[in-house]
Structure 1
């Protein structure tokens, strides 16, 4: 019997093979295959592609406090060639092939993060992976599905690929109560374009997880717009220190930690194990596959234990500065599993809040936190009341009782 051996082109020849095999040139998408007739699947002509990609986790649409529909997701690209590949353009298309979002130039480069480096750049070295962090904001309903049309350059020759097809997961989101009570709470590093949470992909337990995709670090300003007054190194100087962290829903406590010491504000601690990154924490199971994580609570303040049931508005603990924290704050995020790390982040809505202002930028917030100066906010801002929406990055909010 004759054995038929399928020979694969060596990696060194892949870039040239891609060009010969007929990838579409720049500006021309690959020809769409006709819908197959009932019966056996239609034959698909193989075409070598220099870059492949898939979506880390299907996007879940939600309504932000700007009234728009938001889609947040990540496309993981892999360069299969032996040379550097440039990612020049990314189009996001809906199920009808309509372009609903485009990234090019510096805007694109600022959203491409190679997995082996800390610098955002739209250049992938040989064999390198990169995440493209996407945020699509729409003035209407979200599509049923997405696909991505990516223009790449290999050895100076541009071509267009379609990759990363994904459904859009239309699911009922939890409507939560406020996690805090009072005014002047700054939603730092929140959804959808801040980099510290929204892009914190972690390789854990053999997989890639982004539990903090929709996380917020709540800090608080006083009447003079200051985050702290007095000794920067004393956590008691911070306006939010000791505030009560409240249950956002009727829930079951699935995990807690207490007893970790306060960190000294001003710098991140070194050598924190991943199991202590959240400091003293509480995780709630709020049902329907949604879990809520509260992190960095004061030592000795956690009032619940695993297996307890809580009611919306119950006090869980006090805001502190434990774990991987640079200043007292309440870190809050919702995820699809009881682990605060081995999970995918999910969006959620807050039932009632008022936006009283907005920080001028992440840099303005960082300066207020680091130097004790008043938080610079956007001028001419009129307070607005909100219901059943997500608090977005840098909003200054009031939570009622």
Structure 2
């Protein structure tokens, strides 16, 4: 009973304050004001209480995808600053310079992208005091990429005055990061590689938010798990518990650029395919790995290699195309594959993921969807692929989710 009374008072108090604040921002024109005790202060902005606050902690970086479009992938952090639920009705992404809409998410699209901190489940509302991320992916033509963005979010809730409910806020201003991207060579060579859990809407990597060292990081924002199919389109043939029966197992892993080895591990045993291991310490999640510093603030992480196969040691230089290890099944892994991602620091986890481009590859097919791939991965059945995909050659683009690619020597 005490909680209910306290909560009601809190809601009413916020309603009163919000009414004053929102009334000032909506009904009063921008004007010069003088604040007593602070000297003369002239401002064109009228302060207003905002029940939803938000920011973009890591600016979006545009990159060319294998679909010919320019992509921006980033997160809008939002917090419900009221004592009642807020329903997020829609999120619009605007060109901050012109208010042109470049992204519009409503209804189920919001639910698919709004994910509370610490949860992997999407929601359409925020509980009192709750923080969440809106995972945003924009695919645009190159000439349509704005210089800066702002977000227009419509919310509904009982803590908003009736005359202003629903309420639309502008939050999360961000400047688009136009840095020059690294152009890398292939990490493996051969045919029928599948880019699993790649950019930009697959959730396993793109939404892998980790609370590391007091910060929320998504080092794997652009990560890819490369698996491979045999000539019959199967990921494995024979006993699925034997790593050697997977098409990719034992393939050479190559340096994608000239660089300096920052860190490695080479002593962890193979896992039995078919299920994730339990009790894996954070330090062993990548299994046997190599981290390369390739310059200009870009680092490359290779994970899950065979025990004893990692060739370079920390501090050594490698040249583009050098063999640095063999594909294995070590660490936190389900089946043999090569995990690769690029980040802005030497830690594979405590960093922000960066996009990159692959210098040349061919797309020879496209897996129908994640469910179809998992069916093949579990049963060893031939991959279900989209019909009518014509093989195409690509240069200086990022391989996208479920592309089937050839990396030629």
> Does the alignment reach a TM-score above 0.5?
yes
Summarize the alignment of residues 74-89 of structure 1 with structure 2, pairs less than 5 Å apart: 74-89=75-90
Describe how 1:229-240 pairs up with structure 2 within 5 A: 229-240=237-248
The answer (yes or no) to whether the contact 2:21–2:47 under 8 Å persists in 1 is no
Q: CA RMSD in A?
A: 2.1
Shift of residue 154, structure 1, vs aligned partner: 1.3
Secondary structure at the aligned position of 2:206 is classed as coil
Cα distance between partner residues in 2 of 1:23 and 1:392: 43
Counterparts of 1:11 and 1:242, CA distance in 2: 62
**Deviation at residue 17 of structure 1 after TM alignment:** 3.4
1:374 aligns with 2:382: yes
- 3-state SS in 2 of match to 1:381: coil
1:318 equivalenced with 2:326 (yes/no): yes
- The question of 1:213 aligning with 2:221 is answered yes
Q: Greater share of helix residues, 1 or 2?
A: 2
Partner of 2:148: 145
- Kept in 1: contact 2:18–2:48 (CA 8 A): no
The whole-number CA distance in structure 2 between the counterparts of 1:326 and 1:14 is 52
Q: Please state how far the C-alpha of 1:226 moved relative to its aligned partner.
A: 0.4
User: Residues of 2 paired with 1:78 and 1:136: CA distance?
Assistant: 22
Aligned twin of 1:111: 113
How far residue 129 of structure 1 moved from its aligned partner, in angstroms, is: 0.8
Partner of 1:228 in structure 2? 236
Query: CA 1:23–1:384 in structure 2 vs 1: closer, same or farther (change >3 Å)?
Result: farther
Q: Kindly indicate whether the alpha-carbon contact (under 8 Å) linking 2:30 and 2:44 is maintained by their aligned counterparts in 1.
A: no
1:307 positional shift = 0.5
Question: Following superposition of structure 1 onto structure 2, how do residues 236-247 of structure 1 map, counting pairs within 5 Å?
Answer: 236-247=244-255
Counterpart position of 2:127: 125
Residues 14-93 of structure 1 aligned to structure 2 (within 5 Å):
15-17=14-16, 19-21=18-20, 23=22, 42=43, 44-93=45-94
Instruction: Please show how residues 144-293 of structure 1 align to structure 2 within 5 Å.
Output: 144-155=147-158, 157-293=165-301
SS in 2 for 1:249: coil
| 2:84–2:127 contact (8 Å) kept in structure 1 | yes
Paired residues of 1:73 and 1:134 also in contact (CA < 8 A): yes
Shift of 1:16: 1.3
> Given that residues 202 and 209 in structure 1 are in contact (C-alpha distance below 8 angstroms), is that contact kept between their aligned partners in structure 2?
yes
47-56 or 310-319, which moves further after superposition? Answer: 47-56
Cα offset, 1:123, TM superposition: 1.2
> After TM superposition, what 4+ stretches of structure 1 lie above 6 angstroms from structure 2?
28-35
8 Å Cα contact 2:251-2:326 kept in structure 1? yes
Aligned to 1:101: 103
Q: 1:308 to 1:30 in 2, by over 3 A?
A: farther
* Contact in 2 for aligned 1:187/1:394 (Cα 8 Å): yes
Determine if contact 1:245/1:317 at 8 Å carries over to the other structure.
yes
Q: How far has the Cα of 1:82 moved from its partner?
A: 1.0
Superposition pairs of residues 353-372 of structure 1, within 5 angstroms = 353-372=361-380
Please say if residues 178 and 246 of structure 1, whose CA atoms lie closer than 8 Å, have aligned partners that are also in contact: yes
Give the corresponding residue for 2:36: none
Comparing 351-360 and 140-149, the one that deviates more: 140-149
Partner of 2:309: 301
Q: Which residue of 2 aligns with 1:6?
A: none
Structure 2: gaps of 5 or more residues? 1-8, 33-39
Alignment gaps of 5+ in structure 1: 1-9
**Residue aligning to 1:135:** 137
Q: TM-score when scaled to structure 2? A: 0.91
